[in-house]
């Protein structure tokens, strides 16, 4: 079973940033050009790039979409995008402009029937982003926490046909404290689908710890702050997981 790495580019105000545990008041700027950052990852061998429109997640509409489309059209890599995707028009806008996969998150809680309709229509081009805070789903750029348990949401959408899940444990995101491997494994066990781990990766050993469960459905990891802080390079990470 293959294990895919997704270097992350979080965009706010047209810049590459990282937030600490999703807190918009705890931001570090790492670059002025999302495209240049994406190109650096592609040059190091990335097959996928994970992009997040933080402004979009907060405002409920596309804000930084032009950077995403530029990367998808010019770099020859697969791009997945999350943040601010609320309508079918948003989904079609990205998919028709070269983006490979669109992540829906908050809308799965606020309008699950619509989310299921999109999954059935667009298939594996849709990923369900499940962001958990103490086991419960967080929405709207992690500003709100719902009463829905993350694993329950995962099972519901897996049963509806979702093939790809991105699971983030907010407690670990941006902390470089190691991923919540047990929670990621639980999501994979419950959904029996592809689960991409997000949050907390701080070392090559963390990637190895996740990859050992690839056959159980943990099929990838998103890496952000560890790359930006120089804990390891993307090339080193790709070598670690055998890519």
Q: Rounded to whole angstroms, how far apart are CA atoms 74 and 49?
A: 13
DSSP string of 40-60, one letter each residue: HHHHTT-SEEEEEEHHHHHHT
Nearest to 103, CA basis, from 157, 45, 156: 157
Q: Which of 197, 115, 186, 179 is nearest to 150 (CA)?
A: 186
Active-site annotation holds for 131: yes
Q: How many CB atoms lie within 10 A of CB 57?
A: 27
**Catalytic member of 55, 131, 173, 206:** 131
Q: Is 81 exposed, middle or buried (0-12, 13-18, 19+ CB in 10 A)?
A: buried
Rounded CA-CA distance 150/29 in Å is 30
In whole angstroms, give the CA distance from residue 221 to residue 232.
15
Instruction: List the structure tokens of 224.
Output: 């952000």
Token pair for 80 = 């997945």
State yes or no: is 23 an active-site residue. no
Distance, CA of 77 to CA of 48 (rounded, Å): 6
Catalytic residues: 10, 131
């Amino acid at each position: 079973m293959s294990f895919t790495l997704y270097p992350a580019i979080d965009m706010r105000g047209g810049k590459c940033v990282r937030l600490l545990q999703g807190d918009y008041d705890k931001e570090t700027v790492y670059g002025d050009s999302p495209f240049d950052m994406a190109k650096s990852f592609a040059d190091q061998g990335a097959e996928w790039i994970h992009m997040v429109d933080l402004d979009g997640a907060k405002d409920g509409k596309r804000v930084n979409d032009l950077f995403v489309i530029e990367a998808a059209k010019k770099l020859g890599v697969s791009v997945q995008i999350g943040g601010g995707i609320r309508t079918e028009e948003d989904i079609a806008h990205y998919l028709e402009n070269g983006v490979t996969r669109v992540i829906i998150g908050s809308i799965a809680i606020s309008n699950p029937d619509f989310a299921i309709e999109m999954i059935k229509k667009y298939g594996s081009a849709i990923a369900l982003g499940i962001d958990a805070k103490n086991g419960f789903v967080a929405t709207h750029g992690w500003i709100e926490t719902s009463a829905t348990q993350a694993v329950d949401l995962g099972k519901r959408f897996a049963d509806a046909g979702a093939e790809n899940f991105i699971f983030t444990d907010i407690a670990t995101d941006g902390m470089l404290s190691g991923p919540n491997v047990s929670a990621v494994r639980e999501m994979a066990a419950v959904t029996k689908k592809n689960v991409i781990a997000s949050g907390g990766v701080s070392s090559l050993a963390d990637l190895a710890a996740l990859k050992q469960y690839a056959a159980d459905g943990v099929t990838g990891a998103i890496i952000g702050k560890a790359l930006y802080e120089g804990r390891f390079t993307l090339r080193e990470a790709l070598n670690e997981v055998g890519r």
